[in-house]
């Protein structure tokens, strides 16, 4: 039985998880400022714009389990990544705070789908003999992204516009989708 942990698929799924989480935390610290600056949102509206994403994530996680079993892990992850990536384009549409709330909710659902798929894939590809170690390393991809995502987001907010931040997240996520389909 092959118990090698650091195989191509494990590295890819950990990297994808890292960048999904990085984008989540990058947006977590920047989106309220964006809502206030671009939409003249009140403080409570800006808080809702931030929080509704998490509600979407919970809903995405609730309903994706069966889909993973039905259509497969990799296909579900690819769909989730495409959905997450395409939703970032909606941040460029400036038609009101209600549209931003809907965008955030849908974007959250997409993260719930993609991140649940990455966790499922990791749990299934890690060799049984190294399950604890593998889950620990996979979880570190989340921890590292949690550490650097807010820093990058706040640094970018000081230096560039939200459109540049959004372009950054779109290109990073698009690259993730390409990595998944690469043989």
Decide: residue 61, CB within 10 A, 0-12 exposed, 13-18 middle, 19+ buried. middle
Domain 28-181 fold is: Growth Hormone; Chain: A; (1.20.1250)
Average pLDDT of 21-50?
A: 93
Q: Specify the DSSP class assigned to residue 128.
A: G
Two tokens, residue 51: 């929080």
Q: How far is CA 170 from the centre of its chain?
A: 11
Residues 115-133 have pLDDT tens digits of 999 999 999 999 999 999 9
Q: Report the interhelical angle of 8-39 vs 43-71 (nearest 10°).
A: 150
pTM of this structure: 0.88
Residues 151-161 have pLDDT tens digits of 988 998 898 88
Q: Residues 12, 147: contact at Cβ < 8 Å?
A: no
User: Domain segments of the chain: what residues?
Assistant: 28-181
């Amino acid at each position: 039985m092959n118990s090698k942990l650091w195989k191509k698929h494990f590295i890819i799924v950990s990297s994808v998880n890292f960048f999904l989480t990085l984008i989540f935390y990058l947006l977590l610290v920047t989106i309220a400022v964006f809502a206030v600056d671009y939409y003249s949102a009140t403080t409570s509206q800006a808080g809702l714009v931030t929080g509704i994403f998490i509600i979407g994530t919970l809903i995405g996680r609730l309903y994706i389990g069966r889909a993973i079993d039905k259509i497969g892990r990799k296909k579900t992850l690819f769909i989730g990544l495409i959905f997450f990536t395409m939703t970032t384009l909606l941040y460029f549409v400036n038609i009101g705070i209600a549209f931003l709330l809907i965008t955030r909710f849908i974007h959250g659902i997409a993260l719930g789908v993609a991140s649940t798929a990455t966790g499922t894939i990791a749990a299934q590809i890690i060799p049984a003999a190294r399950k604890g170690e593998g889950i620990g390393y996979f979880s570190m991809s989340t921890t590292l992204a949690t550490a650097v995502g807010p820093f990058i987001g706040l640094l970018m907010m000081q230096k560039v516009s939200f459109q540049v931040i959004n372009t950054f997240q779109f290109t990073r996520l698009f690259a993730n989708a390409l990595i998944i389909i690469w043989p």
